């Protein structure tokens, strides 16, 4: 490793670690980072990612020496690792995160902070006790369109914020193919995906909710005792098959890197479980509502079935004198201001919009560079914990038929 480079160790080389590692290598000429170590419980996936990264560095006319570790403790203590990035599935965040925080090295933890509230609290308490602030990977905070939307709100374009609506209708049947299919592993769709969106509510409102209610359930991906165990063992004409040619783009986007997943046998480690295979306990749709002390109301309308569409994720802000609608997949922002007298549509995209997470991952790498040098985290451990408290509240409300839940009744860190 070059002496003037910051050594990066990535714990978890599945889809997320593989992708972020690629972004770091792509920005080799612009950031101070150099990937020096990888850790994964399945060695073949470490090797696949190392091969990928070495090739990426070669494309940038540089070489890379990347060590492989099967135990995260060894990576964390490695002298050539300065920044630790944790991109494992959330059900194994707690051990690496606490160990990394206790090491005193800089820590990035991908969202959500954990799959359940107990682990989220433990990680946050470790962050506070070690006085080692970490940075969270809530991608909306790094996407140019969302940042533009936030700036417009702060400029007073629509007056005082009154209401927020996020609508997400995305064909993420992959959640039923993978380890996301059980709440105990992923926190469900609310934990895995909606933690992003709950963080947006807190970010834009500038606060924490005081009460909420939610309804949800399973409407499309209903269990079938006669279903095959795996897509790769099935010849049925099914719109949710893994690897159908017309689904290639979605499959590449959502599944793990490399071909080794096809050899896995455990449900938790396979990437092609049948979407109708009994045993999944996650919901596939729901509505969640929050009320903030400052009077702002926020709603999430979500489903993981439906067609690919340009408007599959939108954020609408309603203020005292106008309205703004963000369409994530096009980067367009529709602004109605001055009580309806003015209407314009602006393009909130930047040059990397077509890259990973609409350019967010490249910005994230550069923000990590600033964070390593002492800047405050864009999203903190407190933000991560609060999003998971909201997930827990939503699960409690849904599981009790939509009852009102007071956020003061949801466990918090005791420090």
Q: What is the mean pLDDT of the chain?
A: 94
| Same domain, residue pair 299 and 172 | yes
The mean pLDDT of 42-52, rounded to a whole number, is: 94
In this structure, the answer to whether residues 175 and 133 fall within a common structural domain is no
> For the chain, how far is it from start to end, CA to CA, in angstroms?
39
Could you tell me the CATH number of the domain that includes residue 326? Answer: 3.30.360.10
Q: Give domain status of residue 261, yes or no.
A: no
Q: Is residue 411 predicted with pLDDT exceeding 80?
A: yes
**134 and 171 in one domain?**
no
186 and 314 in a single domain? The answer is yes
In this predicted structure, the answer to whether residue 112 has a pLDDT above a threshold of 70 is yes
Q: 11 is in which domain, residue-wise?
A: 6-138+368-372
CA distance 177 to 250: 13
Would 260 be classed as within a structural domain? no
110 and 197 in a single domain? The answer is: no
Quote the number of domains for the chain.
Answer: 2
**308 and 387 part of one domain:** yes
206 shares a domain with 330: yes
Note whether 154 and 217 are same-domain residues.
yes
Q: Is residue 242 part of a domain?
A: no
DSSP per-residue letters across 47-73: HHHHHHHHHHHHHTT-----EEESSHH
pLDDT above 70: percentage of residues in the chain? 95
CA dist 310 and 85 (Å) reads 32
63 lies in the same domain as 150: no
Report yes or no on 349 lying in a domain.
yes
Q: What is the mean pLDDT of residues 221-230?
A: 95
- The band of 4, judged by pLDDT with boundaries at 50, 70 and 90, is confident
Q: Are residues 184 and 147 in the same domain?
A: yes
Structure tokens at 38: 């990888």
CATH assignment at residue 32: 3.40.50.720
Indicate whether 179 and 30 sit together in one domain: no
- The pTM of this model reads 0.94
> At 56, phi and psi to the nearest 5?
-65, -45
Q: What is the mean pLDDT of residues 129-144?
A: 97
Check whether 1 has a pLDDT greater than 80: no
Question: What are 140-189's pLDDT values in tens digits?
Answer: 999 999 999 999 999 999 999 999 999 999 999 999 999 999 999 999 99
- 146 domain residue, yes or no: yes
**Residue 217 near residue 400 (C-beta atoms within 8 A):** no
Residues 180 and 67 in one domain: no
Q: Tens of pLDDT along 226-264?
A: 999 998 888 888 899 886 444 444 433 444 545 677 788
Rounded Cα–Cα distance for residues 387 and 193 (Å): 11
Whole-number pLDDT of residue 253: 43
pLDDT of residue 329: 96
Residue 248 domain-assigned (yes or no): no
């Amino acid at each position: 490793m070059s002496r003037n480079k910051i050594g990066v160790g990535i714990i978890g080389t599945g889809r997320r670690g593989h992708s972020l590692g690629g972004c770091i290598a792509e920005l080799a000429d612009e950031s101070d980072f150099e990937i020096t170590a990888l850790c994964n419980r399945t060695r073949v996936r470490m090797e696949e990612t190392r091969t990928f990264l070495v090739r990426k560095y070669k494309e940038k006319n540089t070489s890379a020496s990347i060590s492989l570790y099967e135990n995260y403790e060894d990576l964390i203590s490695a002298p050539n690792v300065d920044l630790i990035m944790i991109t494992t599935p959330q059900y194994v965040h707690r051990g690496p995160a606490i160990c990394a925080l206790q090491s005193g090295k800089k820590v990035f933890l991908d969202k959500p902070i954990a799959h359940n509230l107990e682990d989220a609290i433990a990680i946050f308490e470790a962050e506070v006790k070690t006085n080692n602030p970490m940075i969270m990977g809530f991608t909306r905070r790094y996407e140019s369109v969302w940042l533009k939307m936030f700036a417009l709100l702060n400029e007073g374009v629509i007056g005082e914020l009154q209401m927020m609506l996020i609508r997400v209708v995305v064909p993420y049947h992959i959640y039923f193919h993978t380890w996301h299919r059980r709440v105990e592993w992923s926190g469900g769709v609310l934990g895995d995906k909606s933690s992003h969106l709950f963080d947006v509510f807190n970010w834009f409102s500038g606060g924490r909710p005081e009460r909420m209610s939610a309804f949800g359930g399973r409407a499309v991906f209903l269990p079938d005792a006669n279903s095959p165990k795996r897509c790769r063992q099935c010849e049925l004409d099914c719109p949710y098959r893994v690897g159908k040619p017309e689904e290639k783009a979605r499959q590449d986007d959502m599944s793990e890197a490399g071909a080794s997943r096809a050899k896995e046998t455990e449900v938790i480690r396979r990437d092609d479980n049948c979407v109708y295979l009994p045993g999944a306990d996650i919901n596939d749709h729901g509505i969640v509502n929050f009320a903030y002390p400052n009077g702002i109301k926020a709603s999430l309308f979500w489903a993981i079935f439906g067609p690919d569409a340009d408007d599959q994720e939108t954020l609408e802000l309603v203020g005292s004198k106008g309205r703004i609608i963000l369409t994530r997949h096009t980067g367009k922002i529709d602004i109605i201001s001055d009580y309806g007298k003015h209407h314009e549509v602006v393009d909130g995209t930047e040059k990397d919009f077509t890259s990973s997470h609409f350019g967010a991952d490249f910005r994230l790498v550069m923000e990590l560079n600033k964070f390593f040098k002492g800047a405050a985290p864009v999203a903190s451990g407190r933000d991560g914990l609060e999003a998971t408290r909201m997930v827990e509240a939503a699960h409690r409300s849904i599981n009790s038929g939509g009852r009102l839940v007071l956020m003061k009744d949801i466990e918090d860190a005791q420090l």
